Amino acid sequence: MSVENPVSGTRLTLDLWHPNCWAIEATEQVRGGVLAHAVYHSPATSDQGTSSVNGLFTAFGDSEAEVEQLLGTISESSRAGELQELQERFGRQRNAPGNVVREFFLEYDPADMVCPTLLEHGFVHSAPVRIEDGREEWQVCFAGERTNIEPALEDVESDSGADVNVASITTSDSPSSARENRLDSLTAAQRDVFEHARESGYYEWPRETSTRELAADLDVSKTTLLEHLRKAEAKLLDP
């Protein structure tokens, strides 16, 4: 009996919500976003006998005020422990999202994490998690046959109470384009404006729309649209 070779090295982008997450709750309430980089276990506390985890995160937004409000909302969350902000680095990566970024450590309950459930069902985290507008974006690799992805995601939802949508799926022989990687460096507002401009023919010759029409479509001022569009173009065109 011949067996068809399974497709291996499957990569997915997951659009995910799960309960009891301080970052999801904070970004639902205020603007800005969070990148989750690394998580490590803290020693068990002597009085409670329970463990916690610490994570390294980046808060990002369009302005200092926006990021300050986001950090304040996180600090006030009953699901978050002490927030320890890192000193600003000399320079930062140009592809970091947002016009303003601030890094911090945060301690929280590992029971509120969805990562162990994803790992249990074969989804291996491959990039920082991006949290905006009350949703998480996970870049993962699936360690198994492609036909098993759907039932594995159903198990993740059942075990964690999560809501999971597949935003994209590729195999190891079709890597994501440089353009897609650069799009990840945009804020949500910058990406929305740029994508709408591109889809509306703003970059065609001759142009099929104007900045005034784009601003009206998105219900923003022309000044705001131009600010987002120029910053998006600078990130996407920067060599």
Pair 131, 224 in one domain: no
What is the pLDDT at residue 66?
Answer: 94
Closest CA to 149 of 10, 4, 18, 5: 10
110 and 26 within one domain: yes
Per-residue pLDDT tens listing for the chain (239 residues) = 333 444 456 889 999 999 999 999 999 999 999 999 988 865 554 445 557 889 999 999 989 999 999 999 999 999 999 999 987 765 555 456 778 899 999 999 988 999 999 999 999 888 889 999 999 999 999 878 888 999 999 999 999 999 999 988 886 555 455 556 666 777 888 888 888 998 898 887 778 888 999 999 999 999 999 988 888 887 776 65
**Contact between residue 48 and residue 85 where contact means Cβ atoms under 8 Å apart:** no
Phi, psi of 19 (to 5 degrees): -75, 160
Angle CA(101)–CA(106)–CA(112) in degrees, nearest 5?
115
- The secondary structure element, H or E, covering residue 166 is strand 163-170
Please state, in angstroms and rounded to a whole number, the distance separating the CA atoms of residues 116 and 53: 13
Residues 37, 123, single domain; the answer is yes
> What's the confidence (pLDDT) of residue 97?
77
Residue 42 belongs to some domain of the structure: yes
Query: Which of 5, 65, 17 is CA-nearest to residue 163?
Result: 17
176, 202, 227 - which closes a domain: 176
Comparing CA positions, the residue from 86, 96, 91 lying closest to residue 60 is 96
Question: What range does the domain containing 169 cover?
Answer: 9-176
Asked, for residue 31, whether it belongs to a domain, the answer is: yes
pTM over 0.85: no
**CB 166 within 8 Å of CB 10:** no
